[in-house]
Amino acid sequence: MTGVFSLLPDGRPGLLAPLLSGAWLSGGGEDGARYLAAGGYAPLTSPGRLLDRIAAVGLRGRGGAGFPAAVKIQAVRDAPGPPVVVANGEEGEPGSVKDRWLLRHRPHLVLDGIRLVAAMTGAERGCVYLSDAPAEQAVRQALAECPPTPRIDVVRTEHTYVAGEETAVVRRIDGGPALPTAKPPRPFESGVGGAPTLVANVETLARIALIHSRPEAADAVAGSHLVTLSGGSGASALAEVPAGTHLKVLADLCRHGRAEAVLLGGLFGGLHGPGWTDLPLDHDRLRAAGGALGCGALHFLHPEDCPVAVANEATAYLAAQSARQCGVCVAGTGAMARTLTDVARGRSDDDSAGKLHRWSRQLPGRGACGLLDAAARVVATLLAHFPEHVEAHRRSRCAACETATPEDGRRFTVPVP
């Protein structure tokens, strides 16, 4: 990891700002006394006014779906009974590091966000859900420095792709396995212990805390994103950037200017080839282009990287990470992964592309979580943007595909800075 960067204009508050200014303890984490002195944990005199502000600036969740944060908070607020607020810090996407970084380095900002959402919803319990040991240590230290109201528990889980799905989060906190459940009910209706539960990504909560402490900059705070940048031939980085920043700017930031394609949203947003440099970091415009911002992880493909190999590794990894609860997911991800492996190894038949195309259209929306959708999108975008590569693998051997290591996700894994 080469470092942590901010492309925010000077003076704009951000989640990375204290690190970049050197305002940390020697251990690298956020100090409770320093956070209090900077305006953290400020009293909330009007929870309704803060909720209105979050709605007005259009803050979206940062966990992947980009759902409006105020709508989610309001749904829990309106539900009967005292709710629970969960900070979801379990990053299933191997290419994302932002949530673990926040919990390791800015735990007070996340805990402050839980406090504020608890006040807005009337929650009597909070929870931090994670799988990362250094993050757990940082959160527990922060809780000891500034004992919060309401009570906040820490729940550790095993790291898997599906462990951060909101129903899996609820299931694990309640003592079960971190596996998705059928919906409805959704957690805002019946979650932890049967109570209405807000499962919020830790970056979302951190931005709510920053909106509260810096209301004059609320629009800028809501319009910034933490993104994880990586690629086989360049460096990796965690960056904070304004919405609308073109992907080419982000590629250049960490020496991926030679890239010819990008895998968006971790493994959820699909592959994009010619024209990707003109795509902006924007939920709606990426969706219109057939992609998704997801958790904000971008993996750049250089000229020596084969899109078929990347797609093969992505689908094989997703198939291996399936919760194995939904027959359609087990069969669908397995079939796509096996067929793509045949394509990558030069063993495809005349109908391989046709089968992949049918599955990519028929399978989305049929699983209990988004894993099957992610695999189908990877396949669909490979066929849409790189049909000549798929066809070429029928005629000649591909060195990049022969050395690929499907299933382990190593290509996409990024270390936390």
Q: Model confidence at 408, in pLDDT bands (50, 70, 90)?
A: confident
- pLDDT value, residue 24: 56
- The residue among 170 and 347 whose pLDDT is bigger is 170
Q: Model confidence at 28, in pLDDT bands (50, 70, 90)?
A: low
Show the tokens assigned to 305: 């990287």
Q: What is the pTM of this model?
A: 0.95
Q: Evaluate if residue 1 carries a pLDDT over 60.
A: no
**Is the distance from CB of 91 to CB of 97 less than 8 angstroms?**
yes
Closest residue by Cα to residue 76 from 2, 166, 160: 166
Counting Cα atoms < 13 Å in the Cβ hemisphere of 252 gives 7
Identify the bridge partners of residue 200 per DSSP, sorted by sequence position: 87
Closest residue by Cα to residue 11 from 324, 260, 221, 264: 221
Closest residue by Cα to residue 99 from 187, 23, 200: 200
Mean pLDDT confidence for 368-380: 94
Mean pLDDT confidence for 117-122: 97
User: What's the longest Cα–Cα distance across the chain?
Assistant: 69
Out of 48-52, 176-180, 272-276, least confident range: 272-276
Q: Model confidence at 138, in pLDDT bands (50, 70, 90)?
A: very high
- pLDDT value, residue 26: 45
b/e 205-216 (16+ beta carbons within 10 angstroms → b):
bbbbbbbbbeee
Q: Evaluate if residue 404 carries a pLDDT over 80.
A: no
As to burial, measured by CB atoms within 10 angstroms (0-12 exposed, 13-18 middle, 19+ buried), residue 293 is buried
Q: Model confidence at 73, in pLDDT bands (50, 70, 90)?
A: very high
Q: Model confidence at 406, in pLDDT bands (50, 70, 90)?
A: low
Question: Would you list the DSSP string of 105-168?
Answer: H-HHHHHHHHHHHHHHHT-SEEEEEE--HHHHHHHHHHHHHS--SSEEEEEE----SSTTSHHH
Question: Would you list the DSSP string of 316-328?
Answer: HHHHHH--S--HH
Mean pLDDT confidence for 347-369: 91
- pLDDT value, residue 19: 62
Using one digit for the tens of pLDDT, what is the confidence trace for 238-261?
A: 999 999 999 999 999 888 989 999
Distance from the Cα of residue 40 to its chain's centroid: 25
Domains detected in the chain: 31-221 (3.40.50.11540), 307-412 (1.20.1440.230)
SS3 call for 216: helix
Neighbouring C-beta atoms of residue 242, cutoff 10 Å: 15
CA angle 15, 40, 121 (to 5 degrees): 90
SS3 call for 226: strand
Strand order in the sheet with 237-242: 3-6, 237-242, 224-231, 297-301, 261-264, 270-272
d(CA 84, CA 215): 25
186-193 long-range CB contacts below 8 Å, 24 or more apart?
A: 188/72, 188/75, 188/76, 188/79, 189/79, 191/83, 191/84, 191/86, 192/84, 192/86, 192/125, 192/127, 193/84
As to burial, measured by CB atoms within 10 angstroms (0-12 exposed, 13-18 middle, 19+ buried), residue 412 is buried
Give percent of the chain with pLDDT exceeding 70. Answer: 96
**Is the distance from CB of 6 to CB of 16 less than 8 angstroms?**
yes
Show the tokens assigned to 4: 């942590």
Look up residue 81 and give its amino acid: G
- pLDDT value, residue 340: 93
Closest residue by Cα to residue 127 from 166, 184, 93: 166
Q: For the chain, how far is it from start to end, CA to CA, in angstroms? A: 6
Tell me the range of 64-68, 116-120, 351-355, 387-391 where mean pLDDT is highest.
116-120
What is the chain's mean pLDDT, rounded?
Answer: 92
Q: Model confidence at 29, in pLDDT bands (50, 70, 90)?
A: confident
Look up residue 415 and give its amino acid: P
Mean pLDDT confidence for 368-373: 92
Q: Evaluate if residue 389 carries a pLDDT over 80.
A: yes
Distance from the Cα of residue 202 to its chain's centroid: 10
